A and B are shown apart, each in its own frame.
Chain A
């Protein structure tokens, strides 16, 4: 039998996931010698031995991989034998192409959990326990290749015991870069408001922190990707207190439960939801409240859903007992970004937190908790961040290096490298100065981690987006991309569609090339071009952004249009109690003072919510639409009258008959929930009819759905149900959010295709 040698190169998520020890152990088992090392693009190894042994070894690598690894390519080339004595793990080779994939952060694995709670283990109750299968990754990485000295763990020199594990190929902690223990690693301390350290007798800081929560205190807890603010979710007074201090009136809080059993006590969780909750990413999952739900009512007021997650960092297991449920909301004030730097957190959270549970390992990259709901048994992102970033979206073909700068709110940006699109973690609202600054820093950081030098910058058409202004000022060729085209292209990219498709892009408002604000759009789009084929009728937005915060303005304008000057005599709750200033608002709308026109579907939801008296002013983005959807629950909607006008080859959804019928319904005393359900069903029916008519003319059968309005599951499932009766292929977002958090992906792909 021949003695042979091969050189193997593997790319994908293969660094920081225990790949080299796994290769080492395989080499031992198959009796091959050689070496393995990380390089800038993945893992490189040389194996030599008798032909059968080498073949078996290569086959084993192809067949199985460590749990967190994702192999994207594996190439085997024969080489000269080096007559190695044994198999060696070599230190990382630097200076190579930096194209290795960085793993997202991973929730604490079952092994580590066991050790954490085992009194005889040397890491008993050690809140930084981790191994090659779990622990921090993206949030601590400063540079690549992934190596301890390029993470924020470099501050901590390993003790002999940790070093021995790190060097032992048989150990689960072999080359686990964040490896640490109570002797050598980072530690938590508990501080009071004034920054004085509390040193509880016979208790560790997490145990003491848990007691303070039980007593009703608000704690700021430094975790993996930032700070949380925590209170006991069963303590109504504490939750109300947190709301008030955080200046957050109605927006629901997410909770963390100590165990799956605790979640199932309060919420309904399907198999797909349980799988997501317990996944390595550990996101917040939106669940329906169950019959026995009894958490503080101010957590998610009036909302049948609640965002729930399980412990994902070791400290969470020390804080929450199995039956505990805590509010765990991002550590910030109102619309600010989540705090992740200690000084900053202490300053910004001082008016909110009673105590701080902090540690001395720096968070290099901020990462908010991801938020997902299950739609049709598959994950549907609301916010994509910790646990998912920086995993790429794989594209159908290679594209030029593009930086796409994203939208204004819920901003994420995107970088393309080859066949992969890297969507950044949730940045937030750019108008906020700290957010804007972290946005600039995050762009530079991701460019560096991916070793990408953008050749093209893609941005939204909206001239006032701060992202647009940033992009235009760069010394790069720019590709402006229409907002809704980008939304649709994001879905297309995820599903490797090259188009053309019928795109339904429903959101609040996005800049249209005609200077109006689009947002209820039927596009015929491919990855380069689009054509507007239909839209919702325009309505005035008197006061601009003010009208988005005060939906009553839209309702009053609609009433005036429908009923003329006499609308105020119409006997419905809204006209009985018109908000002050309504005459001036109408005058402004009539004269076009600060009154853009919009076809935004989100605005139609707002107007109807106000007409029904559900919400006249909002306290968080999308609130009126959320509450209109909630009102419709439990009612079977009917299709009310509507019209579709054809003008200049465009199909326009004319909702005047619908709004008029709703007004009549209100006067006849029909339940608000019934009318809310009818609204959803009618909008779905009109959407379906317009889609069918476009399909008839174009022959297109693929339909992509995107935009923030499709976070409305009632509308989404009705449209899917109606279109499902025809032979359409429907495509939803599965890897990026339908809201503006996914916009950059679409911008990037369009710009890439256009400059290809």
Chain B
């Protein structure tokens, strides 16, 4: 039975089980409405007959600059991708800044420039915004919130309820790059090879896919915080299906794998900022892969698993030796369970 926490812990923001419980038991009941209850990356709305997607996200990444990106690029790509995952073409973004007094102005300028170039790359316009400065110590440097709206592509219906046994799970490329890049920068680690964040806008890739085969795709999600494992668990739970992954099919760069081995991280749980999970009707497998691989962001797209009837709501990994390992949603952080 759910027991309300006395205080909000860091774990409640980890994207795992604690966050879910917080949303389910604190936030949803208060705001209850049919759009919110779908719990997608963004809300899907119909206004005067126009099908729109609407989404918001806040960015607090530490450090603000990392190999392959910065907080500004992340803030634009994140919201663009959330809209894309609704099957929409992102159109307009807002940007809100919460700045700690004393932040070097040059740094802010650099981040704003980075946002603008990311917006250009994604083909969206940042059309409104807000800036607040708070006293030293009230925030850590700079937090950015972005929100965005987009138009849902014609004939497209991205919905967990359409995910059915027999469909295929495809991922657009290597997992874990973003998390490792940010972590190594944050801690000043010397890695055997440099690892660059995959932070990128996915809307063009999604548009190409959904325009070519709108009926093929039942679900789209970007495996950000909590990684592939958490995102697939959410899909499995929402759709009431099982998902079986093939361990040797899950794409991880050798250099990321090597760092994971040393630091004890499971790449399945690492955040990505430029990857998409696509669930497709089986008969479109090859067509979808071919379309995706033509886009530079998904050159390594591949099939990683299938949707199954069992175990409902759970994700399992077929290991190299032939076992089936449960890949659960974490309650908090990865902690050894071996006694």
Contact = CB atoms under 8 A, between A and B. Distances in A.
Interface in B254-268: 258-259, 261-265
Interface in B310-338: 311, 314, 316, 321-326, 328, 330-338
B189 A509 contact: no
Count class of interface residues, chain B: 35 or more
A593 B183 contact: yes
B189 A433 contact: no
B263 A437 contact: no
B35 interface: no
Contacts of B336: 509, 517, 541, 544-545, 547-548, 596
B339 A510 contact: yes
A168 interface: no
Interface string A580-611: 01011101100101101000001000000000
Interface in A275-299: none
Contact of B335 (A434, A464, A546, A708): A464
Contact of A739 (B258, B316, B323, B339): B339
Nearest to B189: A587
B331 A507 contact: no
B4 to A, nearest CB: 13
B311 A433 contact: yes
B190 interface: yes
A418 B326 CA distance: 35
Contact of A588 (B2, B3, B262, B321): B262
B301 to A, nearest CB: 27
B17 interface: yes
A462 interface: yes
A433 B325 contact: yes
Interface string A134-148: 000000000000000
B263 A517 contact: no
A211 interface: no
Interface stretch (A46-54, A331-339, A655-663): A331-339
Contact of A708 (B190, B263, B321, B339): B339
Interface string B110-132: 00000000000000000000000
Interface-centre pick from B324, B325, B337 (highest chain A CB count, 10 A): B337
A483 B331 CA distance: 18
Contacts of A431: 325-326, 337
B7 interface: no
A543 interface: yes
B191 interface: yes
A523 to B, nearest CB: 16
Contacts of B296: none
A508 B338 contact: yes
Count class of interface residues, chain A: 35 or more
A477 interface: yes
Given A431-B325, A594-B334, A547 B264 contact: yes
Contacts of A511: 335
Given A469-B328, A472-B1, A583-B190, A509 B263 contact: no
A509 B339 contact: yes
A407 interface: yes
A739 B324 CA distance: 24
A473 to B, nearest CB: 9
Given A334-B321, A465-B337, A545 B264 contact: yes
Interface string A397-420: 000000000011110000000000
Contacts of A433: 311, 314, 316, 324-326
Interface string B266-283: 000000000000000000
A478 interface: yes
A1 interface: no
A588 B331 CA distance: 22
Nearest to B333: A594
B337 A596 contact: no
Contacts of B258: 581
A386 to B, nearest CB: 23
A678 interface: no
A584 B263 CA distance: 8
B328 A466 contact: yes
Contact of A432 (B191, B325, B335): B325
A679 interface: no
A410 B326 CA distance: 16
Contacts of A548: 336, 338
A569 interface: no
Contacts of B1: 472, 474-478
A463 interface: yes
Interface string A431-472: 111101100000000000000000000000011111001001
A408 B339 contact: yes
Interface in B299-314: 311, 314
Contacts of A585: 262
A740 interface: yes
Contacts of A546: 261-264
A12 interface: no
Given A464-B330, A583-B190, A333 B322 contact: yes
A238 interface: no
Nearest to B319: A334
Interface string A555-597: 0000000000000000000000000010111011001011010
B190 A584 contact: yes
Given A433-B316, A581-B262, A584-B190, A545 B337 contact: yes
A740 B338 CA distance: 10
Given A433-B316, A463-B331, A546-B261, A409 B337 contact: yes
A708 B338 CA distance: 11
A519 B338 CA distance: 11
A333 B321 CA distance: 8
A602 B336 CA distance: 13
A391 B155 CA distance: 62
Contacts of B259: 584
B339 A594 contact: no
Contacts of A510: 339
Contacts of B17: 463, 469
A436 B314 CA distance: 11
A18 to B, nearest CB: 41
Given A432-B324, A581-B258, A588-B262, 5 more contacts: A407-B339, A463-B331, A466-B328, A475-B1, A594-B333
Interface of A: 247, 333-336, 348, 351, 407-410, 430-434, 436-437, 462-466, 469, 472, 474-478, 483, 507-511, 517, 519, 541-548, 581, 583-585, 587-588, 591, 593-594, 596, 602, 621, 708, 739-740
Closest 3 CB pairs of A and B: A543-B264, A546-B264, A463-B331
7 contacts: A348-B322, A408-B338, A465-B337, A508-B339, A510-B339, A517-B335, A584-B262
